Structure 1
Amino acid sequence: MAAFGQQKARRLARVDASRKGGLDERAAPVVQLLNGRARFCTTSSCSGRLVLAQGSAAGPGGCGIQKKHCGWLMVAHDACGKADVMKALEKATGDIVLKFEPFVLHVLCQELQDAQLLHSVAIESGFRNSGITVGRGGKITMAVRSTHCLEVPLSHKGKLMVSEEYIEFLIHVANQKMEENIRRIDRFYKRLELALKTAVSANNSPSEETAKSRAVYVRRRKRKTIQEQDVHTSPKDHNEALEPEDDTESSLGIFAEILI
Structure 2
Amino acid sequence: MASFQQRKAQRLARADASRKGAVDEGAAAVVQLLNGRARFCTTSSCSGRLVLVQGPASDTNSCDIQKKDCRWLMVTHGTCARDSVLAALEKATGDVVLKFEPFVLHVLCQELQDAQLLHSVAINSGFRNSGITVGRGGKVMMAVRSTHCLEVPLTHKGKLMVSEEYIDFLVHIANGKIEENTKRIDRFYKGLVLALETGTSVSSSAEGREKNHSVYLHRRKRRTGQERDVHAPPEHHSQDSGAEEDTKNSLDIFAEILTQDSGAEEDTKNSLDIFAEILT
The TM tier, using the shorter chain, reads: 0.7 to 0.9
TM-score, scaled relative to structure 2: 0.67
* Structure 1 equivalent of residue 131 of structure 2: 131
Alignment-mate amino acid for residue 178 of structure 2: M
* Structure 1 equivalent of residue 30 of structure 2: 30
Kindly state the Cα deviation for residue 137 of structure 1 after the two structures are TM-superposed: 1.9
In 2 relative to 1, CA 178–55 (structure 1 residues): closer, same or farther, beyond 3 Å? Answer: same
* Structure 1 equivalent of residue 141 of structure 2: 141
Question: Residue 80 of structure 2 contacts residue 175 of structure 2 at CA under 8 Å; is this kept in 1?
Answer: yes
In 2 relative to 1, CA 105–39 (structure 1 residues): closer, same or farther, beyond 3 Å? Answer: same
In structure 2, how many angstroms separate the alpha carbons of the residues matched to 1:138 and 1:95? 43
Q: What whole-Å deviation, never above 9, does each CA across 1:72-126 have from its counterpart, x for those lacking one? A: 0000111000000000001101000000000000000000000000000000000
* Structure 2 equivalent of residue 98 of structure 1: 98
* Structure 1 unaligned blocks of 5 or more: 204-260
In structure 2, how many angstroms separate the alpha carbons of the residues matched to 1:80 and 1:127? 23
In structure 1, how many angstroms separate the alpha carbons of the residues matched to 2:63 and 2:119? 30
In 2 relative to 1, CA 196–59 (structure 1 residues): closer, same or farther, beyond 3 Å? Answer: farther
Larger radius of gyration: 2
* Structure 1 equivalent of residue 10 of structure 2: 10
Kindly state the Cα deviation for residue 70 of structure 1 after the two structures are TM-superposed: 1.6
Alignment-mate amino acid for residue 93 of structure 2: T
* Structure 2 equivalent of residue 164 of structure 1: 164
Question: Residue 80 of structure 2 contacts residue 171 of structure 2 at CA under 8 Å; is this kept in 1?
Answer: yes
1:176 to 2:172 alignment: no
* Structure 2 equivalent of residue 73 of structure 1: 73
SS at match of 2:7: helix
* Structure 2 unaligned blocks of 5 or more: 57-61, 204-280
Alignment-mate amino acid for residue 3 of structure 2: A
SS at match of 1:26: helix
In structure 2, how many angstroms separate the alpha carbons of the residues matched to 1:7 and 1:15? 15
SS at match of 1:18: coil
* Structure 2 equivalent of residue 229 of structure 1: none
In structure 1, how many angstroms separate the alpha carbons of the residues matched to 2:127 and 2:89? 31
Kindly state the Cα deviation for residue 60 of structure 1 after the two structures are TM-superposed: 3.8
Kindly state the Cα deviation for residue 40 of structure 1 after the two structures are TM-superposed: 0.4
TM-score, scaled relative to structure 1: 0.72
Kindly state the Cα deviation for residue 68 of structure 1 after the two structures are TM-superposed: 5.7
Kindly state the Cα deviation for residue 136 of structure 1 after the two structures are TM-superposed: 1.7
Kindly state the Cα deviation for residue 2 of structure 1 after the two structures are TM-superposed: 6.9
Alignment-mate amino acid for residue 39 of structure 1: R
Alignment-mate amino acid for residue 171 of structure 1: V
Cα RMSD of the aligned pairs, angstroms, is: 2.2
Kindly state the Cα deviation for residue 69 of structure 1 after the two structures are TM-superposed: 3.5
In structure 1, how many angstroms separate the alpha carbons of the residues matched to 2:69 and 2:28? 28
Kindly state the Cα deviation for residue 199 of structure 1 after the two structures are TM-superposed: 2.6
Kindly state the Cα deviation for residue 157 of structure 1 after the two structures are TM-superposed: 0.8
In structure 2, how many angstroms separate the alpha carbons of the residues matched to 1:68 and 1:198? 47
* Structure 1 equivalent of residue 251 of structure 2: none
Matches within 5 A, 1:181-260: 181-199=181-199
SS at match of 2:128: coil
In 2 relative to 1, CA 59–193 (structure 1 residues): closer, same or farther, beyond 3 Å? Answer: farther
In structure 2, how many angstroms separate the alpha carbons of the residues matched to 1:59 and 1:70? 14
Aligned residues: 197
Kindly state the Cα deviation for residue 47 of structure 1 after the two structures are TM-superposed: 0.3
Q: What whole-Å deviation, never above 9, does each CA across 1:191-224 have from its counterpart, x for those lacking one? A: 0010000039x99xxxxxxxxxxxxxxxxxxxxx
In structure 1, how many angstroms separate the alpha carbons of the residues matched to 2:52 and 2:15? 26
* Structure 2 equivalent of residue 227 of structure 1: none
SS at match of 1:126: coil
